Amino acid sequence: MNPEIREMTNNDLDRVLEIENLCFLEPYKKESILYELNDNKYCKSYVICLNGLVVGFAFLYCLFDQASLVQIATHPDYQKQGMATLLMNEILDDCYAQKMSIITLEVRENNAIAHDFYLKSGFKDAVFKERYYTNGDNAFYMTREIER
């Protein structure tokens, strides 16, 4: 069972929406995902598949020499199996290849599992953002330099 990482396509939309709705408090709507896929020239999208089934995805914005990890998620049935780590490693390799100097992200303060994952992936807490999310949740703004 070798996972495959590839660029997301419109054919992945239903499965990505399913994962989106299972994993996020404020999930993207279908129109937003379609915009990221088809119209946002700064967005790079990824899916990770097992036997052809999408089990995770990510959106990365790249502008000049900086990247921002907008979303990364793994279907709950496939969490804690290394899928997010494989996806993150692919993203970091791409950032290196594209000569990015830094990658950033935001994560909810109360999402300890995600926060720990990012720390293990080499990110550091940079700024604490109070009431960052629409529901009033606080966020950690995290950064990771891309080693050259």
CB distance 128 to 138 below 8 Å? yes
Rg (CA), the chain: 15
Q: φ, ψ for residue 30 (rounded to 5)? A: -55, -45
Give the pLDDT confidence score for residue 52 in this predicted structure: 94
| Portion of the chain with pLDDT greater than 70, in percent | 99
Give the pLDDT confidence score for residue 147 in this predicted structure: 78
* pLDDT tens digits, one per residue of 114-147: 999 999 999 999 999 999 999 999 999 999 999 7
* pLDDT tens digits, one per residue of 29-56: 999 999 999 999 999 999 999 999 999 9
CA–CA separation, 17 and 128 (whole Å): 29
**In sequence order, which residues have a C-beta less than 8 Å from that of residue 126 and are 6 or more positions away?**
104, 140, 141, 142, 143
Give the pLDDT confidence score for residue 13 in this predicted structure: 97
The label of the residue with tokens 């990658």 reads: 103
Of 43, 32, 116, 125, which is closest to residue 80 (Cα–Cα)?
Answer: 116
* pLDDT tens digits, one per residue of 77-118: 999 999 999 999 999 999 999 999 999 999 999 999 999 999
